Structure 1
């Protein structure tokens, strides 16, 4: 099977940055006296600030200082990424090299800040793999995951048919976004628990990135576990 393109989420999918995000949110919880729980972090996974409103409304008290928390989060991320980038996930270079050799276009579609994406790719020396990078802050992305906008935007910029794009995700909200876009969702679970509804929406479920290689070389379309 040769897809027209492969679109990757970033945090928890390409880079081991989901845990960094959790650490920063726990620090924000302490600094601003907010109830940052495991359940909050689970439900927040994969969302940007706009699509996270329902999560904030559910867990945080009315009148919490959104603007101040948002600015402080940006500062904490900037401090980390000024020094380094997140480590790559297992199989990172193997799958990207394989896709490049097969001339399959690649994009990143992430809810993260643009500077975080640039820092991670620079740290990994991986800027040359991707034809397009779309973040939740792109003006063409009107709604964040689990809405399909970011993946539809990525497919347009790659000039690919979204129904022939594999979307690689680690979070339930990301899989829902890919399914809503009518892409082919491929799930590689990371920190977020995966429920049965998410498993049903995923076309394939793998354990690491390089397990995609035999999948791409095969004509089989069964779910891989």
Structure 2
């Protein structure tokens, strides 16, 4: 069934798992650090942390491993493993991002990034992916009282873009992010980063796309067929 978007005047991107394939690199670092400490973090558990901010991830890892688990040591080790990994491999950009960016710029739509990451971490990831000059508007964890799944980040993004939230297309890859986008009142697109897709996110979102290439086709069709 063909998806027809409502009127879109701005685009808000999530970062981890949506624009950048950072989640794979985080999972590798978490699992290797845990293994060195004598613990196992299964793939399914790591995937359940998708879209959560740092403190929520830390709390869930501690709850999973038990209170004898040294979270400080784990964070130090996983941080070092992550930086070693991405310094050699970089961070991949998700399929379709550049084509979607072409559509957005062709039609002069304002856009920004809204992420649960702290600003310094977001800038580091964008730089490692070669996207450090792309997003002139960046909404990060320290700019809002409540992180996703609260709607604060997206409401702030709408204010900075000076576009009503109801005309902002918000693209998310996780259930937590979709919850935030829906609560904010944006046009919510679910672009799953995990297989199988989260059924809860599919139910809540206005539409599901295979990838950002799929979104670029939808958006191009919508903008070019909009009545003058």
- Does the TM-score normalized on the shorter chain lie above 0.5? yes
Q: Which residue of 1 aligns with 2:148?
A: 145
Q: Tell me whether 198-207 or 113-122 shows the greater mean CA deviation.
A: 113-122
- Listed as ranges, the gaps of 5+ residues in structure 2 are 1-5, 224-228
Q: Which residue of 2 aligns with 1:24?
A: 29
Distance 1:124 1:57, change over 3 A: closer
What TM-score results when the alignment is normalised by the length of structure 2? 0.82
Asked if residue 38 in structure 1 is aligned to residue 35 in structure 2, the reply is no
Distance 1:34 1:142, change over 3 A: farther
Distance 1:194 1:54, change over 3 A: farther
Structure 1 residue 192, shift from structure 2 partner? 5.6
Q: Secondary structure at the match of 2:12?
A: strand
State how many pairs are aligned.
218
Does structure 2 retain, via aligned residues, the 8 Å contact 1:151–1:181? yes
Q: Secondary structure at the match of 2:54?
A: coil
1:12 corresponds, among 14, 17, 33, to 17
Structure 1 residue 129, shift from structure 2 partner? 3.0
Structure 1 residue 102, shift from structure 2 partner? 1.2
Structure 1 residue 141, shift from structure 2 partner? 2.5
Question: For 1:31 and 1:7, how far apart are their aligned partners in 2?
Answer: 38
- Listed as ranges, the gaps of 5+ residues in structure 1 are 221-225
Question: For 2:44 and 2:94, how far apart are their aligned partners in 1?
Answer: 24
Structure 1 residue 201, shift from structure 2 partner? 0.8
Q: Larger Rg: 1 or 2? A: 2
Structure 1 residue 149, shift from structure 2 partner? 2.3
Structure 1 residue 148, shift from structure 2 partner? 1.8
Structure 1 residue 61, shift from structure 2 partner? 0.6
Q: Which residue of 1 aligns with 2:3?
A: none
Q: Tell me whether 35-44 or 115-124 shows the greater mean CA deviation.
A: 115-124
Give CA deviations for 1:93-124 in whole Å, capped at 9, x if unaligned.
11011101211111112234545533443355
Does structure 2 retain, via aligned residues, the 8 Å contact 1:184–1:203? yes
Q: Secondary structure at the match of 1:51?
A: helix
Cα RMSD (Å): 2.5
